[in-house]
Structure 1
Amino acid sequence: MTEQDTAKDGGAAGRSASNASTLAGYEGCADDYAQTTAPKPEAGDQPALVELLKAASPGGSLLEIGSGPGWDADWLEERGLIVRRTDGAESFLHFQASRGRHAEQLDVINDPLGGPYDGVVALYVLQHVERETLPAVFARVTRALRDGGVFLFSIREGEGDTVEIGSKGNEYYVALWPRSEIVAALAALGLDLLWSHSFEGSEGRWLIALFRKGAPE
């Protein structure tokens, strides 16, 4: 995310010992983060969002985890989807309110996710969930999806855990995952891989993947 030279759009996902400083870091950087991640028309549409739009039910309802400034939700809503915007950092809720958008505070680890949804989106946020906790978060997301629903998310590829230091000195917990482990974990929950893309960012390698729960209706 931009504050610590990571990625594009999303706040902190949940509150626990190792990512408490991550959440605090996002509380202090919403305006700067929003400015540096604002959509650039010359860059065109994000391929991941295009794939989600193709796979989701027309006019379907989505839960966005880590909505951040809300740029992705704007894009999806402009194309007819209904997005429940959520974030763990109050600063992003206030930023979206200043834009006339409503976003709710959500701890993805402990709070009810609601649903069932036609899709769940979690871009550039789940890398902050502790390694031992992420499988349970995946299970919660799966339960929140209707049969045929889709799950779009990103994760940092690699091995182990790391702490990154932001421009204001905040520590950001990051878990790295091998692609094969992520695909296997979601397959065990009944989610089938539809599309994926890996790329190198300034801070390391990212995986963006789109999964579907069971057979589409």
Structure 2
Amino acid sequence: MELSPQDATLAAYERGAQQYAERTAAAPAPEVDALLARVPAGAHVLELGSGPGRDAGALESAGLTVDRTDGAAAFVEAQRAAGHQARVLDVRSADFGGPYDAVFANAVLLHVPRADLPGVLATARRACRPDGVLVASFKKGAGDAWTQVKLDDPRHFTYWDEAGLTAALTAAGWTPEQVAESTLPASAERWITAIARNEASLPA
């Protein structure tokens, strides 16, 4: 039976986890600083798609507690082998656990099909405390495509623009704070950083 684009992408990460780690820049994503500026000291963060654990390490070094998760068991096993607690969590799951002060998703929700993203974002919001924050990054563009950049194995991406992401966040119950193109000097691709609050769960 033919795999869905998401399952095929997960399989690519399972096979190429070590190669992905070797080809990932050591410097944390700029979204790390965006999150640190918006949560209290000691905040409890759910990271979707921890991958090699680079950003989780930076957040933990800043005093946050990070629930490291990934849809690929190979990444989870590598993080456990390095002494970290981690669990397998597919973003298509109906429950992410929690409650958390924030959900951090750097370059992971871009694998979710366009029609499914509002549902995934709604699950993330349910995992957040009132006034909790979401920080996520997406590839900027139109449509969707397969690519073998970074991994010698095809992965599927959905591309977004600011208006589309803002609508998806709003449909999921988030209050967008910032949805704007982010600057990554080392990348030939364009990216969008999305930041939103869980104001829908605040008491009236």
Cα displacement (A) at 1:46: 4.3
Deviation per residue, 1:3-51 (Å, 9 max, x gap): xxxxxxxxxxxxx7122111111112222222222524xxxx6432112
TM-score (norm 2): 0.87
Distance 1:120 1:86 in 2: 11
Partner of 1:17: 4
Q: How does 1:181-200 map to 2 (within 5 A)?
A: 181-188=164-171, 189-194=173-178, 196-199=180-183
The structure, 1 or 2, with the larger RCO (C-alpha pairs under 8 Å, 6+ apart) is 1
1:3 paired residue number: none
In 2, Cα distance between equivalents of 1:100 and 1:31: 17
Equivalent residue number for residue 151 of structure 1: 134
Q: How big is each residue's C-alpha offset from its partner over 1:117-167, in whole Å with a ceiling of 9 and x where there is no partner? A: 100011011111111111110111111111111101011112111111356
| 1:7 paired residue number | none
Q: Which moved more, 1:95-104 or 1:192-201?
A: 192-201
- The separation in 2 between residues aligned to 1:112 and 1:30, in whole angstroms, is 25
Q: Aligned ranges for residues 92-107 of structure 1 at < 5 Å?
A: 92-107=75-90
Q: 1:197 to 1:177 in 2, by over 3 A?
A: closer
Can you give the 5+ residue segments of structure 1 that lack an aligned partner in the other structure?
1-15
Is residue 2:47 matched to residue 1:64? yes
What's the RMSD between the two structures over aligned residues? 2.2
Aligned length: 197
1:8 corresponds in structure 2 to none
Determine the C-alpha separation between the residues in 2 that align with 1:80 and 1:148: 20
Match of 1:13 in 2: none
TM alignment of 1:1-217, pairs within 5 A: 17-40=4-27, 46-166=29-149, 169-188=152-171, 189-194=173-178, 196-199=180-183, 201-202=187-188, 204-214=189-199
1:168 and 1:28 map into 2 onto residues whose CA distance is 10
Structure 2 unmatched ranges of 5 or more: none
**SS state at 1:207 partner:** strand
Distance of 2:158 and 2:132 partners within structure 1: 26
Amino acid corresponding to residue 193 of structure 1 in structure 2: E
In structure 2, distance between residues paired with 1:208 and 1:126: 12
Whether the 8 Å contact between 2:47 and 2:67 is mirrored in structure 1 is yes
In 2, the alpha carbon distance for the partners of 1:109 and 1:174 equals: 15
CA contact (8 A) 1:194 1:212 kept: no
Instruction: Give me the whole-angstrom Cα distance separating, in 1, the residues matched to 2:12 and 2:84.
Output: 22
